[in-house]
């Protein structure tokens, strides 16, 4: 243990014995805030345990037994906050919430928080929350989902969960969380500045401003600093005190009594008024930012000492003494006994097993099996009931339709069938989305199941995660692919990691619909024609679907919902905008890109994420998807006229790739042409190349046509940087010709 740690550890004892205690800011008595003397001792014990966990984690780190020493010292007052909330008030916590977790565990039977937290420090396989994957605070039975280290990224989902509680009530939905529960969401003063935090708080206030229930307490644990950067004095208070849609409360986080009383008030307001409260808790940070942080580099020794004099444990000791609850010796005894208890438990913990294989590490990425059957929240509709949803389109139902219409009908059927589906996005309600894909859904299912969000993609995706935390199956929509990027961490760092860091105990299944890719006629420019989805392909565990036509879209969207419901998957469903309204393939009026709408009953029981191949030609195998598939199908016919026979493989599922299916097709041809409408760098063509080479197929002639490494310009210039049918024809012809010339030359 470094000197500072030891100094702080010892200082508590000597200051209690000598009576060198801070003066109390508030003159409450335990009884005046509704606490008994025993409660104060209990809270103090929690604080002390949390402190010794911090101190001991640093000892363990020195011994190579612990890996992450960010602690809760200075923030132990959140023990009182935990006491003020209900056990089932879902808590999305700041990383300095050790005391909160210990105190909450006292509300549930059979909890072993000290052992559990030490297991987590030691990355033990027995760690009950992450199974040895990370030091996270969390517990399924304590309603504390684990959080990532990305500061503020938990606020949007906390906001979404709060929203979901009111929504469940309005819909009489059988939710996971009680209808009268609220959400607790804590974070630091520096984190509060993050745009993700600002967005989530704004969303909560925006909803509340228009009387939409948003029962959440945002707890800002303000220690005045973020790593080494001070928060301007008064900034947090000035920012939130008079904010529309938000109730502001403040308390002294060093004082258990004030913290308890004010948190109770905050919880009561949120619970009864169903509105967001911003609880500003003033406290201090002790022992630096983390074990590795040399605080003396940016803080003077006198400053560090002055802060240490305000140790919340000393404040609690002062309360215990002032109200004659414990004497000095008893306080010191509790403190010292806690230290030796933690040492003993830690000695046992370090002997427990760690994760030793990649398979073990990755086990929580792959669903263990069916978690929620199709029957959960699923209606068995009669055909007449079902058709009533299609009343407006009844004369068209038997006619072939384009992609947009078929997605729309699939959504109609899915929503009628599954009560848990909620759609949310920008302009998806009355307007029906910018491309009419969600038309009529709002009319059929109402504003509680098809909702217009405010303009903030982080809140849309975070909102969806929150809905999923409460048992809904969200289908969020991102208006254009380019606009997912400012919010991608909600998928990458949040939704996708939840199962991993909770050992599958928490999941947030959803189907994220995104309109994207290029080739839109008459609506040019990069942002509405973004042709890069590389960001989704390296996220472990997520599924990426991209239908190229209406027939496949129906099947794939239904499969996506099943993946989410049955396997708790996060599915990104990428819809090629340019093909939404496309009806013809080879010539005007041929109607070859319109398809029948199969009824849900026609769905196969088997869930398979496979490629689909058109043609049996053996001269050349074209691997493609989306618009590339459409263009390749045009090219296929032109090539056939030149007696070049090809097969066109629509990849359809872009992550994970159907590797077996791809190889099976490729093996039957000598030439392989990859047609990828995304940029050459980072496009899926690279993965396909790697797949073929690793499968020892490098003897085949493998070529690719990709978009240029460019953004998409306006107007016809767009086609200069994108693959075209002509290019496919030319390339395929030259590949086949080159092959026959070299054969002739032999
Ligand atoms: C998005 C993001 N950026 C940067 C970091 C690195 N980081 C970790 S904690 C922290 C400071 C947070 O300060 P504050 O919110 O005040 O919480 P405190 O540590 O003081 O309790 C920073 C910059 C991070 N974890 N996430
Ligand atoms: Mg801070």
Q: Which two tokens stand for residue 408?
A: 């729309």
pLDDT tens-digit map of 25-78: 878 899 999 999 999 999 999 999 999 999 999 999 999 999 888 999 999 999
Ligand 1 in reach of 223 Cβ (< 6 A) = yes
Spatial distance between the Cα atoms of 532 and 680, rounded to a whole number of angstroms: 10
Ligand 1 in reach of 119 Cβ (< 6 A) = no
Cβ pair 26, 257 in contact under 8 A: yes
pLDDT at 697 over 50: yes
Strand partners, 124: 354
| Ligand 1 closest atom vs CA 70 | 19
From residue 659, give the alpha-carbon distance in Å to each of 6, 610, 656.
57, 9, 8
For residue 536, report the phi and psi dihedrals to the nearest 5 degrees.
-90, -20
Spatial distance between the Cα atoms of 225 and 211, rounded to a whole number of angstroms: 34
Q: Which ligand is nearest to the CA of 290?
A: 1
| Ligand 1 closest atom vs CA 188 | 15
Q: Which two tokens stand for residue 548?
A: 């190229």
Cβ pair 98, 469 in contact under 8 A: no
Spatial distance between the Cα atoms of 76 and 35, rounded to a whole number of angstroms: 17
Ligand 1 in reach of 226 Cβ (< 6 A) = yes
Spatial distance between the Cα atoms of 44 and 49, rounded to a whole number of angstroms: 9
For residue 285, how far is its CA from the centre of ligand 2 (angstroms)?
Answer: 7
Ligand 1 in reach of 264 Cβ (< 6 A) = no
Q: Which ligand is nearest to the CA of 94?
A: 1
For residue 365, how far is its CA from the centre of ligand 1 (angstroms)?
Answer: 27
Average pLDDT over residues 631-653: 98
> Residue for token digits 């047609």?
675
pLDDT tens-digit map of 473-486: 999 999 999 999 99
317-356 burial code (b ≥16 CB/10 A, e <16): bbbbbeeebbeeeebbebbeebbeebeebbeebbebeebe
Average pLDDT over residues 242-256: 97
Ligand 1 in reach of 633 Cβ (< 6 A) = no
For residue 204, how far is its CA from the centre of ligand 1 (angstroms)?
Answer: 22
- How many residues are present in the chain? 746
Which DSSP symbol is given to 82? H
3-class SS of residue 574: strand
Residue 746 binned pLDDT confidence (cut-offs 50, 70, 90) = very low
In the prediction, which pLDDT does 367 show?
A: 64
| Ligand 1 closest atom vs CA 149 | 25
200-237 burial code (b ≥16 CB/10 A, e <16): bbbbbbbbbeeebbbbbbbbbbbbbbbeeeebeeeebb
Q: Which ligand is nearest to the CA of 287?
A: 1
In the prediction, which pLDDT does 379 show?
A: 85
88-92, 291-295, 374-378: range with lowest mean pLDDT: 374-378
Contacts of 20 (CB under 8 A, 6+ apart): 14
Ligand 1 in reach of 524 Cβ (< 6 A) = no
Spatial distance between the Cα atoms of 427 and 569, rounded to a whole number of angstroms: 26
pLDDT tens-digit map of 113-130: 999 999 999 999 999 999
Strand partners, 649: 613, 623
> Residue for token digits 């560090």?
304
pLDDT tens-digit map of 717-736: 999 999 999 999 999 999 99
Ligand 1 in reach of 283 Cβ (< 6 A) = no
In the prediction, which pLDDT does 62 show?
A: 92
Residue 745 binned pLDDT confidence (cut-offs 50, 70, 90) = very low
User: Is residue 442 annotated as a catalytic residue, yes or no?
Assistant: no
Task: Exactly one of 528, 586, 614, 738 is catalytic; name it.
Answer: 528
Give percent of the chain above pLDDT 70: 98
In the prediction, which pLDDT does 737 show?
A: 86
Q: How many CB atoms lie within 10 A of CB 538?
A: 11
Tell me how far the alpha carbon of residue 69 is from its chain's centroid. Answer: 24
pLDDT tens-digit map of 593-630: 999 999 998 777 788 899 999 999 999 999 999 999 99
For residue 453, how far is its CA from the centre of ligand 1 (angstroms)?
Answer: 28
pLDDT tens-digit map of 528-582: 999 999 999 999 999 999 999 999 999 999 999 999 999 999 999 999 999 999 9
pLDDT at 317 over 50: yes
Burial class of residue 743 in the structure, from the number of CB atoms within 10 Å of its CB (0-12 exposed, 13-18 middle, 19+ buried): exposed
In the prediction, which pLDDT does 669 show?
A: 96
Q: What residue owns the CA closest to ligand 1's atom 20?
A: 226
Higher pLDDT, 102 or 2: 102
Spatial distance between the Cα atoms of 707 and 679, rounded to a whole number of angstroms: 5
Work out the mean pLDDT of the chain and round it to a whole number.
Answer: 95
Ligand 1 in reach of 190 Cβ (< 6 A) = yes
pLDDT tens-digit map of 374-432: 557 888 899 999 999 999 999 999 999 999 999 999 999 999 999 999 999 999 999 99
Q: What residue owns the CA closest to ligand 1's atom 13?
A: 226
Cβ pair 378, 418 in contact under 8 A: yes
Model-wide pTM > 0.85: yes
Q: What is the largest CA-CA distance in the chain?
A: 103
3-class SS of residue 179: coil
> Residue for token digits 């998928």?
491
3-class SS of residue 732: helix
Closest to 468 in 3D by CA, of 541, 366, 579, 371: 371
**Is residue 573 within a helix (H) or strand (E), and if so which, with residue range?**
strand 570-576
For residue 162, report the phi and psi dihedrals to the nearest 5 degrees.
-60, -45
| Ligand 1 closest atom vs CA 187 | 15
Q: What is the dihedral of CA 71, 76, 77, 80, to 10 degrees?
A: 110
DSSP β-ladder status, 247-252 and 229-230: unpaired
In the prediction, which pLDDT does 744 show?
A: 52
In the prediction, which pLDDT does 292 show?
A: 83
Cβ pair 105, 113 in contact under 8 A: yes
For residue 295, how far is its CA from the centre of ligand 1 (angstroms)?
Answer: 15
Residue 226 binned pLDDT confidence (cut-offs 50, 70, 90) = very high
Spatial distance between the Cα atoms of 248 and 279, rounded to a whole number of angstroms: 6
pLDDT tens-digit map of 195-216: 999 999 999 999 999 999 999 9
Ligand 1 in reach of 96 Cβ (< 6 A) = yes
């Amino acid at each position: 243990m470094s000197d500072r740690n030891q100094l702080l550890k010892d200082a508590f004892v000597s200051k209690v014995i000598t009576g060198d205690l801070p003066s109390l800011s508030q003159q409450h008595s335990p009884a005046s805030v509704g606490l008994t003397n025993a409660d104060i001792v209990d809270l103090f014990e929690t604080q002390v345990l949390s402190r010794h966990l911090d101190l001991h984690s640093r000892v363990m780190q020195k011994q190579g037994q612990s890996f992450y020493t960010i602690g809760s010292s200075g923030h132990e007052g959140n023990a009182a906050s935990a006491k003020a909330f209900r056990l089932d008030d879902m808590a999305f916590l700041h990383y300095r919430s050790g005391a909160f977790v210990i105190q909450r565990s006292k509300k549930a039977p059979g909890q072993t928080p000290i052992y559990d937290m030490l297991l987590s420090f030691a990355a033990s396989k027995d760690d009950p929350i992450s199974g040895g994957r990370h030091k996270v605070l969390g517990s399924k039975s304590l309603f504390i989902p684990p959080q990532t280290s990305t500061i503020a990224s938990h606020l949007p989902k906390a906001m979404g969960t709060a929203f979901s509680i009111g929504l469940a009530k309005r819909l009489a939905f059988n939710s996971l969380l009680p209808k009268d529960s609220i959400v607790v969401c804590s974070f630091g003063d520096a984190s509060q500045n993050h745009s993700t935090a600002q967005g989530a708080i704004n969303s909560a206030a925006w909803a509340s401003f228009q009387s939409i229930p948003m029962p959440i307490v945002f707890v800002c644990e303000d220690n005045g600093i973020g790593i080494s950067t001070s928060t301007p004095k008064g900034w947090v208070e000035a920012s939130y005190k008079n904010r529309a849609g938000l109730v502001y409360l403040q308390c002294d986080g060093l004082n258990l009594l004030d913290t308890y009383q004010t948190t109770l008030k905050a919880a009561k307001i949120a619970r009864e008024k169903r509105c967001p409260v911003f609880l500003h808790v003033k406290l201090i940070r002790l022992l630096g930012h983390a074990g590795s942080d040399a605080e003396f580099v940016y803080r003077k020794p006198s400053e560090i000492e002055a802060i240490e004099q305000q140790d919340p444990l000393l404040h609690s000791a002062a309360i215990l003494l002032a109200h004659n609850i414990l004497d000095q010796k008893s306080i010191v005894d509790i403190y010292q006994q806690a230290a030796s208890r933690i040492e003993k438990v830690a000695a046992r913990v370090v002997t427990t097993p760690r994760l030793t294989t990649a398979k073990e590490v990755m086990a929580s990425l792959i669903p263990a099996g069916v978690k929620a059957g199709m029957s959960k929240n699923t209606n068995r509709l009669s055909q007449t009931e079902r058709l009533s949803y299609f009343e407006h389109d009844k004369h068209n139902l038997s006619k072939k339709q384009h992609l947009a219409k078929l997605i729309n009908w699939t959504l109609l059927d899915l929503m009628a069938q599954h009560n848990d589906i909620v759609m949310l996005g920008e302009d998806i309600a009355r307007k029906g989305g910018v491309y009419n894909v969600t038309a009529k859904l709002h009319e059929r299912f109402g504003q509680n199941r098809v909702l217009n969000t405010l303009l903030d993609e982080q809140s849309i995706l975070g909102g969806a995660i929150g809905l999923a935390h409460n048992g809904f199956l969200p289908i969020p929509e991102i208006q254009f692919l380019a606009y997912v990027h400012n919010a991608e961490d909600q998928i990458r760092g949040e939704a996708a990691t939840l199962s991993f860091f909770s050992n599958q105990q928490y999941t947030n299944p959803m189907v994220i619909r995104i309109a994207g890719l290029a080739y839109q006629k008459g609506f040019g420019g990069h942002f509405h024609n973004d042709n890069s989805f590389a960001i989704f392909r390296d996220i472990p565990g997520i599924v990426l679907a991209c239908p190229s036509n209406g027939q496949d879209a129906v099947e794939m969207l239904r499969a996506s919902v099943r993946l989410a419901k049955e396997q708790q998957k996060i599915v990104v469903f990428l819809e090629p905008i340019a093909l939404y309204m496309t009806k013809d393939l080879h010539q005007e009026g041929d109607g070859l890109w319109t398809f029948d709408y199969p009824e849900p009953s026609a769905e196969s029981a088997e869930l398979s994420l496979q490629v689909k191949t058109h043609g049996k030609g053996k001269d050349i195998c074209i691997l493609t998807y989306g618009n590339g598939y459409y263009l390749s199908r045009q090219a296929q016919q032109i090539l056939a006229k030149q007696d070049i026979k090809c097969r066109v493989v629509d990849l359809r599922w872009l992550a994970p790739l159907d590797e077996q299916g791809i190889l099976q097709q490729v093996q039957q041809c000598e030439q392989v042409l990859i047609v990828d409408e995304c940029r050459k760098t980072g496009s899926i063509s690279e993965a396909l190349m790697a797949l073929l080479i690793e499968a020892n197929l490098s003897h085949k002639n493998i070529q690719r046509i990709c978009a240029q490494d460019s953004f998409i310009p306006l107007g016809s210039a767009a086609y200069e940087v994108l693959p075209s049918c002509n290019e496919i024809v030319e390339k395929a012809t030259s590949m086949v010709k080159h092959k026959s010339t070299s054969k002739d030359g032999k």
